[in-house]
Amino acid sequence: MNWITIITFTYPHEAHMAQAYLESKGIDTIIKDELTTQVYNFYSNAIGGVKILVRESDCESGLNLLKEGGYIIDDDSDKQHELELVKIDSTTNKKACPFCNSNNIGKNKEPNLLTVFVFFVLGAMFPIFKSSYKCFDCEKKWKFVKK
């Protein structure tokens, strides 16, 4: 019987969580390279991480279960985290999410291209940042632009 690596993790405790989830759904698993990463934790990436193996016949159902359990995230979810432009005027409340009206938001500051260029030329970082916002409730990211 052939065993196939279905998912890898950096740390053994993450692999044990996924293994317990799969085995609770009736899929037999093996964890490979767990002890190596416990003894030499910096080797984890060098050896490809802690691997969970399943039988070849259980591979497809195991992948579906890992997606269902949130261990594998589809690429479609990255589209949700794209930066959106929100047009504002004098009546716009900048302290609330424009999508869900939550007050649980944060401000992201990222350096722009000019800041990076000045840093490499002069060796000094000036506080020129692009500001964007993120809602921690609906996970949307946006930037305010004037109408």
pLDDT tens figures, 56-102:
999 999 999 999 998 888 765 545 557 788 888 888 888 888 889 88
| 104, 125: one domain | yes
Quick one: pLDDT band at residue 22, thresholds 50, 70, 90? very high
In this predicted structure, what is the pLDDT of residue 143? 84
| 63, 114: one domain | no
| Structural domain that includes position 42 | 3-73
Quick one: pLDDT band at residue 117, thresholds 50, 70, 90? confident
| 120, 139: one domain | yes
In this predicted structure, what is the pLDDT of residue 94? 82
CA distance 58 to 15: 17
Percent of the chain past pLDDT 70, that is, above it, reads 82
CA distance 25 to 139: 30
| 88, 113: one domain | yes
Please check the confidence at residue 35 and state whether its pLDDT lies above 70: yes
Residues 52 and 30 sit within 8 Å (Cβ to Cβ): yes
| 107, 134: one domain | yes
Of 73, 88, 104, which residue constitutes the final position of a domain?
A: 73
Angle between helical axes of 12-24 and 59-69 (0-180°, round to 10): 110
Quick one: pLDDT band at residue 114, thresholds 50, 70, 90? low
The enclosing domain of 63 has a CATH number of 3.30.70
Residue of 36, 25, 35, 30 lying closest to 2 (CA atoms): 30
| 69, 82: one domain | no
The residue among 112 and 59 whose pLDDT is bigger is 59
* Domain count along the chain: 2
Phi/psi of residue 105, each to 5°?
-125, 160
| 83, 136: one domain | yes
